[in-house]
Chains A and B, each alone.
Chain A
Amino acid sequence: MADERTFFNEMLEETGEPRQAYARLAQWLEDKPANFLTKKSRDAEMIFRRLGITFAVYGAQEATERLIPFDPIPRIISASEWRRLSAGIDQRVRALNAFLHDIYHRQEILRAGRIPADLILQNEAFLPEMAGFTPARKVYAHIIGTDLVRVSENEFYVLEDNTRTPSGVSYMMENRETMMRLFPELFQSHRVAPVEQYPENLRQTLESVAPDPAKSNQTIVVLTPGIYNSAYFEHAFLADSMGVELVEGRDLFVDSGKVFMRTTRAPKQVDVIYRRIDDAFLDPLTFNADSMLGVPGLFDAYRAGSVTICNAPGTGIADDKAIYAYVPDIIEFYTGQKPILNNVPTWNCSRPDDLAYVLDNLEDIVVKEVHGSGGYGMLIGPTTSRREIAEFRRVLQNNPSNYIAQPTLALSACPTHVASGVAPRHVDLRPYVLIGDQVRITPGGLTRVALKKGSLVVNSSQGGGTKDTWVLED
């Protein structure tokens, strides 16, 4: 349970002394005049707005493009902490890809009885159309954003694996650029591992899984739903920084089993599609017939091996919340090793025993929709009123299999610029992982911070902000 007195403070020891990695930053914060950070925050906002680093909020009528609040105080992770984290992430993403290959082929893990077959085969995120198809290098999830939280010095938990189309990497990059403009002196006093190689790594990853990796000029595209998508800025940013075209579905067509883009001249064949649209919208002929975003015939071309789609269709099964509880088993089954990173204990409300426990403890735990995201439709017991809990209880009882529950974790907190000065606020961490010819993990990732005092919800759609995340080099 999240007790304000017991959360882990990443900057300060219990004695109030700064931890080693934060020593210089703590001193620097102390030396600065009171309004210094307020002014720098304003500068940062100006930079973000001019560059158009915005996201769209669903349902918000006015100002559909908003800025995610940016906190100018960096979060620091020491080299040794990062080594352990990245080893755990590496292990996890390899296991998840092995799992995906298995369930779309021989389904050994189901035969071995480690996961109930119904949980996979009846799952909406499982795509029977993928059965028997092997993508290049047997990689399904090429781009993963692993959501982590920290609860103590040495305890990290994985909250979600995000194996579909994780977003936010552009904020990781732009946050760093902005910090370097705002506080060059801090970069001189800290050896911060760079993140600027991400677009190049992404391109290498995509090229390495092309249908013919030996071809010298791979045509790669980023497929976006268009300018009204909440992450459009990021789609443009990634295409731009990789030096590839940003396309919409209507820019592509399939002819004789190959995918082409419509250019001002002759059609150009496409080798790799980094898609930022959901499975259901990829191809109206195979999936959602009403989709205006997709490309008719794309899935057949994919299965025929003429184009690579990243991430592969059907990867959603690996980050399904009902599957989540089995990830430790998945890791053991495919790697033969103990998981390095913890899973949060999870109650599956479709199981009567679990449901009974959840209903008895709603005040203390977190309940999430199985297919939900963005912090919508969830209950955080300790910060919710009794009446709302009673309401939620009815909803939960009506459709228990739609929910899972987890204990409320005491998320660690980092120094954050707030109205009254600098105060600890709860954070999570999403490192970005690329899987192709090798596994590449960018040091750090995106730190999301709950700006409201005591709040544990870090989602940008719910008032969360972001921070630059520094991994210190030895």
Chain B
Amino acid sequence: MLGRTASSLFWMSRYHERAQNVTRLLEVGFRGAIISHSGQEDGTHWTFALSCSGSEKGFAQRYDELNLRNVAAFMIFSKENSDSVRHCLELARNNARAVRTSITAELWEAVNTTWIEFNEVNPQTITQERLPDFLAWVNQRSHLFRGALLNTVLRDDGYFFSQMGNFVERADNTARILNTQYWTLLPDSDIIDDGSVERYQWSAILRALAGRRSYRFAYPNARLKAFNIAEFLILRTEMPRSLAHCYDWIADTAEDLAQFYGSREPSLDLAAEISRQLSETQMREIYQQGLHEFLTEFVGKNNQFAQQLSEDYNFA
């Protein structure tokens, strides 16, 4: 396989995952804006979506007012925002197109049709009433992409690189969202009232990571607690967006890759090491080290892994 092909498969998956993550942040912002029972001003809910996706600065440079129309324009449709849904879907599709010969027809059609249909949407028509359906549609298309990948692609190196891209992006997204909101997840935040800011933030974090429901199953008393939420999203492997879960996949995929090529590269050892650390660490220890420090270090290691992978396999 060409190094460039490996790279395109990796980034195709990364961008599709990113599109979905941005969409979910917008869903959380939207929900906050319409129920607004935390007594805050409207804009705050959008700040959560903007800061978690790292696009606060870019937004502030272009818009004065924090409202649905502006946030949607910037985070969904903007050609200037490199993290907009539009940009992610376009890059996912361009990467898929560059390796059209290495992916299945089903996968290509999922990526291509998503981009075509997205591109046909007139941003003016996505009003407050239509936004939830539209975001749900993007989400479903992203699931279709994953489904096509899992169900139709041959389990060879191309599949492994696609999986790597997906989970590196997901781990990055989870770690960044937690890190942006880390102060609400410190243990002493647990002594709070039901209607507090923290409570709203916890709920927002769980929704942004599609874990609001599953949290209740994972923690039988179902009470939202900072400690549990942090543990759930960092260390619990059964949570599909937790850091531990992502690195379970990455480490397994690394083993598959080593077996497929018959040789171990430094990136594979790095993946195994990160995965092992996550499985051996207790939440208490993370708090002792400092949650913010831990998350910052994780984002760095995750990047380092992606970088090493691209060097080991000659990504162009």
B101 A251 Cβ-Cβ under 8 A: no
Q: Which A residues contact B (CB, under 8 angstroms)? A: 49-52, 226-227, 232-233, 236-237, 239-240, 245-248, 250-251, 261-265
Tell me the residues in window 247-276 of chain B with beta carbons closer than 8 Å to chain A beta carbons: 261
CA distance A226 to B316 in the complex (A): 14
With A247-B2, A251-B316, A264-B157 given, is the CB distance from A232 to B101 under 8 Å?
no
A240 B100 Cβ-Cβ under 8 A: yes
B2's contact among A226, A232, A233, A262, by CB below 8 Å, is which?
A262
**Nearest chain-B residue to A242 (Cβ)?**
B101
Nearest-neighbour CB distance to chain B for A14, whole angstroms, equals: 46
A51's contact among B98, B109, B313, by CB below 8 Å, is which?
B109
B314 A264 Cβ-Cβ under 8 A: yes
Tell me the residues in window 1-38 of chain B with beta carbons closer than 8 Å to chain A beta carbons: 1-6
Nearest-neighbour CB distance to chain B for A236, whole angstroms, equals: 4
B116 within 8 Å of A (CB atoms):
yes
B97 A227 Cβ-Cβ under 8 A: yes
A261's contact among B2, B97, B157, by CB below 8 Å, is which?
B2
A248 B4 Cβ-Cβ under 8 A: yes
B100 A52 Cβ-Cβ under 8 A: yes
Chain A contacts of B112 at CB under 8 A? 50-52
Nearest-neighbour CB distance to chain A for B156, whole angstroms, equals: 11
Map CB proximity to A onto B90-115 as digits: 1 under 8 Å, 0 otherwise. Answer: 00001001101100010011001100
A262 B316 Cβ-Cβ under 8 A: yes
Chain A contacts of B3 at CB under 8 A? 251, 262-264
CA distance A236 to B100 in the complex (A): 6
Between A226, A240, A250, A263, the greatest number of chain B beta carbons within 10 A of the residue's beta carbon is seen for A263
CA distance A265 to B116 in the complex (A): 35
A-B contact pairs, 17 of them (CB 8 A): A50-B109, A50-B112, A52-B97, A226-B98, A233-B100, A236-B100, A236-B101, A240-B101, A245-B5, A247-B2, A251-B2, A251-B4, A263-B1, A264-B2, A264-B261, A264-B313, A264-B314
B4 A265 Cβ-Cβ under 8 A: no
Nearest-neighbour CB distance to chain B for A82, whole angstroms, equals: 32
Chain A contacts of B1 at CB under 8 A? 263-264
B109 A250 Cβ-Cβ under 8 A: no
Chain B contacts of A233 at CB under 8 A? 100
Tell me the residues in window 149-177 of chain B with beta carbons closer than 8 Å to chain A beta carbons: 157, 161
Chain A contacts of B100 at CB under 8 A? 52, 233, 236-237, 240, 246
Chain A contacts of B97 at CB under 8 A? 52, 227, 232, 236
CA distance A245 to B3 in the complex (A): 11
Chain B contacts of A239 at CB under 8 A? 101
Given contacts A263-B314, A264-B314, 12 further A-B contacts (CB under 8 A): A50-B113, A50-B116, A245-B5, A245-B101, A246-B101, A251-B4, A262-B2, A262-B4, A263-B1, A263-B2, A264-B157, A264-B313
Chain B contacts of A246 at CB under 8 A? 100-101
Nearest-neighbour CB distance to chain A for B225, whole angstroms, equals: 45
A52's contact among B2, B6, B108, by CB below 8 Å, is which?
B108
Chain B contacts of A51 at CB under 8 A? 105, 109, 112
CA distance A233 to B2 in the complex (A): 19
CA distance A248 to B6 in the complex (A): 14
A264 B101 Cβ-Cβ under 8 A: no
Nearest-neighbour CB distance to chain A for B100, whole angstroms, equals: 4
Chain A contacts of B116 at CB under 8 A? 49-50
Chain B contacts of A49 at CB under 8 A? 116
Nearest-neighbour CB distance to chain A for B199, whole angstroms, equals: 46
Nearest-neighbour CB distance to chain B for A262, whole angstroms, equals: 5
Between B6, B98, B116, the greatest number of chain A beta carbons within 10 A of the residue's beta carbon is seen for B98
CA distance A233 to B112 in the complex (A): 13
Map CB proximity to A onto B195-224 as digits: 1 under 8 Å, 0 otherwise. Answer: 000000000000000000000000000000
Chain A contacts of B6 at CB under 8 A? 264
Nearest-neighbour CB distance to chain B for A405, whole angstroms, equals: 41
B4's contact among A52, A236, A240, A250, by CB below 8 Å, is which?
A250
